[in-house]
Structure 1
Amino acid sequence: MCWGLRGVCVRGFCTYLPSYMNMNDNHISLARINKILLSQIVAAKYLTEGLASYGDDFLLPLLNAIRIFNKVEVERVLTRTPQQNFTAYYDLLNFNVALFTRYAQGCVNVLENYNKKESARFHDALLATLNGNTDKTLDEYFLKNEEVLHRVVVEYPQAILDIENEYGFHFERDPESLIAETDRYYLYQTKPNRDHVEVDNSLKPVLIIPPFVLGGNILGFLPGEHKSYAHAFANRSIPTYIRLMKDIHETPAVQTMTLEDNARDTRYFCEKIKQRHGLPVTLNGYCQGGYSSLCNILSGELDGLVDAFITCVAPMDGTRSKGLGTFLKSLPKEFNDLAYGTKVLDNGNRIADGELMGWIYKLKSIETSGPLIALLNDMMMLDGGNSKRGGIKNKTVAAINYWLANERSDLPMAVTEMSYLSYNVPIDDDGTLPVRLFGKSLNLKALKEKNITWLLCYGEDDDLVEKEVALAPCDYIDIEVTPFPKGHVAIATSWSDPNSSCALDSVFGKENYRGPVRFQLDLSKNGQKQ
């Protein structure tokens, strides 16, 4: 274990120091030994800071969850019988023990992988030193410990902060991009950012509805690196619009928003876009944005305004989920309640705690996302081939972590209840969704009656919205389906790169799957154009 965390324990080095000095009188000086010892002390300091930092990222939401839990239970514990309370808390204890067991097993697995790698490197360095080889010597091995931990604890967090200027949309830099607004949302136009590309206003427009929990900026990931979902449309001259929610803490109308308000605002924006271009809109929802867009279409509120539909990694029936769905089912029923994720604002409005929601996603896969596991994985990821400090060069990694650290938003209760229903109540056998809008049931088969073309995209390795969850509507209606490699945000990041193997504006795979941008361009080509 001493060597397991990259040999940063000074005791570990001192164990080998006597034999190292005796066998290498001609190859090492006391000054170098002092330098090595100092580097290991510094490395131990970095390791301590890293464990504290990664632990805080996990434990602070835990403390918040405990606070909310206690506040709710003060009232609810009195409504249950002693026997019911005993059973509920016993089940909750078993649930937590199971979580801890999974975390412990995850730690063992990642430590095993880490130790295999490090023991081989240490062995090579030791042999090189004993043989008088000047390459990869033992002192260089120890000196590199400090470098890697410095990279993880100091350079990596700074790189995440530095990427803010390049990450996301930054519409504030172009005031003319604001097209319309309601009490709850802004409507922005995403302009091309490639040289010599202009918007073709005769092409069919697209309105992008971003996820609620993940935030809209994930769809404008790194425009300067040509990794932006929205810009992938705009850079093909497509009139591209995106709806962004106003700050929930500064906007009471967002705090109290209903699903009907959401649908009316979407209709208003679609009306504005259709007036600008004289064509019906393609509604394009990512993740939760896809599910809420489906509900809006099925409600009839967008009739005559929307004639095509694109969804990406949208959770259509969460009860089929092996990850989050199973996690929620394993939670004792007494505590599987939105009240345990709700906070009350100073004005009395109740909203869902976005930080807690994000923490739930970590809990459901704790064997791969716990604090020690995350630290070790980052140490292995950032273990470069040289020991020279030069900052973190991978902008994609920095931007992903900036998103994870800063884009979790609190949510209106209506939106949270929609997601809660979709993960606890399956789609009916006749295709009826568990959500109702304007007092009406919503049935998938209505899409055929409305003559709306649907492209459904999913991630083959998505562990947040699994394939079975995204593809649920295919059991009831015919839909064009496009699978993408990788996980939940790859479509918005990796595959938004026009030079990637699954570029959004291309046709790829053995089955000639169409990316969403290609789908949109083909709609214009096939007549849905002025």
Structure 2
Amino acid sequence: MFFLDCNQSACSHDEIMEKMISPLQAVTNQIAATQNYCAGYNKYLNDFLIPLYVSTNYFRDVEMNKLTKASPMENFQSYMDLMSYNYELSNRSLIASMRVVSEYLKKELPLATEAFLNTLLNKEGENLESFTARQAEMAELVTKTYPKIISDIEPEYGFHFERGKNIKFAETDRFIVYQILPVDDKVKVREDGKPVLIIPPYVLGANILGFLPGENRSYTHCFANLGIPTYIRIMKDISSTPALQVMTCENDTLDTQFFCEKIKSRHGKPVTLNGYCQGGFMAVCNILSGKLDGLIDALITCVAPMDGTKSKGLKHFLASLPPRFRDLAYGTKTLPNGNKVGDGDLMGWVYKLKSIEVESPLVVFFRDMMMLSPKNGKTVKVSKTAAALNYWLRNERNDLPLSITEMSFASYTVPVTKDGTLPVKLFGQELNFKRIKEKGLKWLICYGKHDDLVETDTALAPLEYVDAEISAFPKGHVAIATSWSDPGSACALHTRFGPENYRGPVRFQLDLDIEIEQSRKKNEKSQVSSQKPEEPLNG
């Protein structure tokens, strides 16, 4: 079949044997590639389906209760609606999968044809052996090398409080507050500086805010590395902490009050409360309750969902779900001690379903494979940033107390009223955005321009009721914590950036401290002037 195009005078015996073996090597390469493709896709598929199997158990338990409380016709209609919903979801997944496979074939099929012709006609260029070798290498990268790179980044990723490099500052039954120290030992924390307390998201975990400290990519260390007294509230392990399992939103608020009291007492200045994502919404609710009055004077929220009903993607997703199944019970896990918590893995999976066009297992598999495809014959090097992001995506999902789950669910299903009242209460009282204006608190709202998790309208909802400063960061949901936490980046957090001269959160904090110091010096000067000794009386 193949033209060797050589004669006894032109080709050595070794060259002839090499040309004869080449097709066999191509077949061997293709078999290896196919095995790796199947193993790799199976892993991606399992990662996607495991939460489905878990949710099926929850679904069964809840439905065993509901079936007897509704009429047969109502049950039938609900299941027909659910089947229609699943059909629509599957259809979106299938279309997205076909699209990504088409893109892959469009890229690789011409190369395969060219390699076949080069081999058949003994022409220069990539032949079948080298083409299939590249395919085998690419498949091995996805299934073996890439997962190992992701696993190996763990020692560099996140805070690692067990190493004792940061100070355990305060503790309640539910949380621990650590003081985050500068990475460089030569940088000293300013004890008289204005402190910041960071509230991480519940589900996504705190480590995304301590991304890669050794690489100068850590949101929290951006504050600490400039000598700012920096504290972060860490949730205890919910699986072994009953007090956290049954925590109420009021407990959350009182714990934050306790921490702010201790921090303010230490540094002599009011605290800046800084919430990221879900932590931002919780921080706002804490403030609106009135329990933090006199303890804080400023607020920073980053990509925080302030009115979830303004989220077009998630709102449509929830609205499409038949009413019977819009129930948190379908995502509730019962622990061995009988306490119930929200299943963090399942909540992360719900966001995948919302974005099924980009999160379908086949789409993700081919996306990673094309990303790792050798370029110009050279193996692609996976950056630490990419490895750490994927480590976070694969490993960082926390269960959360039902009270917090219910609060988040309410914020995504019930809109803020026209007068600024939130759909949740604390201590039996309504919460209204306008209280922030009444208390004269300064508020910086940071959001991602291309955030598909917390969309722009969702993050900026408070602007309808109060004045706040905004900073729009390029990219998506975690870019502020990853890309822009690099001090050398275009939108570094300690700088002003962009044509609009936006302030990063660290710049905002530094400027607040400068204002406090200027005000203090001005007051001292006026006091000195008013205390000049009186002139002695004559006589």
Decide: shared fold, TM above 0.5.
yes
**SS state at 1:527 partner:** helix
For the pair 1:402 / 2:377, whether they are aligned, the reply is no
CA shift, 1:202, in A, is 2.0
1:227 corresponds to: 217
**SS state at 1:346 partner:** coil
Query: In structure 2, do the counterparts of structure 1 residues 242 and 133 end up closer, same or farther at CA, with 3 Å as the change threshold?
Result: farther
**SS state at 2:298 partner:** strand
Q: Choose the corresponding residue for 2:375, options 363, 379, 385.
A: 385
CA shift, 1:22, in A, is 3.0
Question: Residues of 2 paired with 1:24 and 1:51: CA distance?
Answer: 41
Deviations 1:122-160 (A, max 9, x none): 345446556755443332111100100100000111111
2:40 corresponds to: 50
Whether the aligned pair in 2 keeps the contact of 1:351 and 1:412 (CA below 8 Å) is yes
Alignment-mate amino acid for residue 103 of structure 1: S
1:14 corresponds to: none
Query: In structure 2, do the counterparts of structure 1 residues 59 and 176 end up closer, same or farther at CA, with 3 Å as the change threshold?
Result: closer
For the pair 1:502 / 2:483, whether they are aligned, the reply is no
Question: Residues of 1 paired with 2:187 and 2:166: CA distance?
Answer: 18
Q: Choose the corresponding residue for 1:242, options 214, 228, 232.
A: 232
Alignment-mate amino acid for residue 365 of structure 2: L
Deviations 1:341-383 (A, max 9, x none): 0011121111111111111011011111111111000001111
Q: Choose the corresponding residue for 1:454, options 437, 440, 443.
A: 443
2:412 corresponds to: 423
1:6 corresponds to: none
Q: Choose the corresponding residue for 2:331, options 331, 337, 341.
A: 341
**SS state at 1:315 partner:** coil
Query: In structure 2, do the counterparts of structure 1 residues 126 and 85 end up closer, same or farther at CA, with 3 Å as the change threshold?
Result: same
2:505 corresponds to: 516
The more displaced of 33-42 and 213-222 is: 33-42
Whether the aligned pair in 1 keeps the contact of 2:199 and 2:233 (CA below 8 Å) is yes
Query: In structure 2, do the counterparts of structure 1 residues 307 and 134 end up closer, same or farther at CA, with 3 Å as the change threshold?
Result: same
For the pair 1:22 / 2:3, whether they are aligned, the reply is yes
Gap regions ≥5 residues in structure 1 = 1-17
Whether the aligned pair in 2 keeps the contact of 1:147 and 1:388 (CA below 8 Å) is no
Q: Choose the corresponding residue for 2:428, options 439, 457, 460.
A: 439
Q: Choose the corresponding residue for 2:461, options 472, 497, 503.
A: 472
CA shift, 1:44, in A, is 1.0
Deviations 1:441-497 (A, max 9, x none): 000000011110000000000010011111111111111010100000000000000
CA shift, 1:176, in A, is 5.5
Question: Residues of 2 paired with 1:141 and 1:24: CA distance?
Answer: 21
Deviations 1:205-256 (A, max 9, x none): 1000000110000000111111110011111111110000000000000000
CA shift, 1:288, in A, is 0.3
The more displaced of 24-33 and 453-462 is: 24-33
Whether the aligned pair in 2 keeps the contact of 1:456 and 1:479 (CA below 8 Å) is yes
Alignment of 1:93-104 (within 5 A): 93-104=83-94
**SS state at 2:470 partner:** strand
2:196 corresponds to: 206
The more displaced of 122-131 and 297-306 is: 122-131
CA shift, 1:35, in A, is 2.0
Alignment of 1:35-434 (within 5 A): 35-126=25-116, 129=119, 134-174=124-164, 177-194=167-184, 196-385=186-375, 393-434=382-423
Alignment-mate amino acid for residue 436 of structure 1: K
Higher-Rg structure is 2
User: Once superposed, which parts of structure 1, at least 4 consecutive aligned residues long, lie more than 6 Å away?
Assistant: 23-27
Gap regions ≥5 residues in structure 2 = 521-539
Question: Residues of 2 paired with 1:119 and 1:528: CA distance?
Answer: 66
CA shift, 1:264, in A, is 0.5
Alignment-mate amino acid for residue 432 of structure 1: T
Alignment-mate amino acid for residue 446 of structure 1: R
Question: Residues of 2 paired with 1:231 and 1:356: CA distance?
Answer: 30
Query: In structure 2, do the counterparts of structure 1 residues 501 and 126 end up closer, same or farther at CA, with 3 Å as the change threshold?
Result: farther
Alignment-mate amino acid for residue 412 of structure 1: P
Query: In structure 2, do the counterparts of structure 1 residues 197 and 124 end up closer, same or farther at CA, with 3 Å as the change threshold?
Result: farther
Question: Residues of 1 paired with 2:447 and 2:235: CA distance?
Answer: 24
Question: Residues of 2 paired with 1:129 and 1:281: CA distance?
Answer: 71
CA shift, 1:528, in A, is 5.4
Question: Residues of 1 paired with 2:133 and 2:45: CA distance?
Answer: 26
2:472 corresponds to: 483
Question: Residues of 2 paired with 1:356 and 1:387: CA distance?
Answer: 40
**SS state at 1:495 partner:** coil
Query: In structure 2, do the counterparts of structure 1 residues 129 and 526 end up closer, same or farther at CA, with 3 Å as the change threshold?
Result: farther
Alignment-mate amino acid for residue 167 of structure 2: S
Query: In structure 2, do the counterparts of structure 1 residues 54 and 451 end up closer, same or farther at CA, with 3 Å as the change threshold?
Result: same
Deviations 1:58-108 (A, max 9, x none): 111111111100110001111011111111111101100000010011012
Whether the aligned pair in 2 keeps the contact of 1:284 and 1:309 (CA below 8 Å) is yes
Question: Residues of 1 paired with 2:4 and 2:266: CA distance?
Answer: 81
User: Structure 1 length as normaliser, TM-score?
Assistant: 0.93
Question: Residues of 1 paired with 2:88 and 2:398: CA distance?
Answer: 29
Whether the aligned pair in 2 keeps the contact of 1:159 and 1:392 (CA below 8 Å) is no
Deviations 1:246-299 (A, max 9, x none): 000000000000000000000111111111110000000000000000000000
Question: Residues of 1 paired with 2:198 and 2:110: CA distance?
Answer: 49
Whether the aligned pair in 2 keeps the contact of 1:155 and 1:392 (CA below 8 Å) is no
Query: In structure 2, do the counterparts of structure 1 residues 133 and 304 end up closer, same or farther at CA, with 3 Å as the change threshold?
Result: farther
Whether the aligned pair in 2 keeps the contact of 1:24 and 1:129 (CA below 8 Å) is no
Question: Residues of 1 paired with 2:435 and 2:323: CA distance?
Answer: 34
Instruction: Report the number of matched residues.
Output: 510
Whether the aligned pair in 1 keeps the contact of 2:180 and 2:221 (CA below 8 Å) is yes
Question: Residues of 2 paired with 1:200 and 1:441: CA distance?
Answer: 38
Alignment-mate amino acid for residue 487 of structure 1: G
State the percentage of identical aligned residues: 54
Question: Residues of 2 paired with 1:128 and 1:416: CA distance?
Answer: 60
Question: Residues of 1 paired with 2:418 and 2:497: CA distance?
Answer: 33
Alignment-mate amino acid for residue 22 of structure 1: F
Whether the aligned pair in 2 keeps the contact of 1:204 and 1:528 (CA below 8 Å) is no
Question: Residues of 2 paired with 1:116 and 1:65: CA distance?
Answer: 37
Question: Residues of 1 paired with 2:5 and 2:224: CA distance?
Answer: 64
Question: Residues of 2 paired with 1:248 and 1:445: CA distance?
Answer: 34
Query: In structure 2, do the counterparts of structure 1 residues 238 and 24 end up closer, same or farther at CA, with 3 Å as the change threshold?
Result: farther
RMSD value, Cα: 1.7
Question: Residues of 2 paired with 1:137 and 1:499: CA distance?
Answer: 44
Question: Residues of 2 paired with 1:250 and 1:415: CA distance?
Answer: 18
Question: Residues of 2 paired with 1:238 and 1:325: CA distance?
Answer: 39
The more displaced of 205-214 and 380-389 is: 380-389
Deviations 1:23-60 (A, max 9, x none): 76778622222222111111111111012101100111
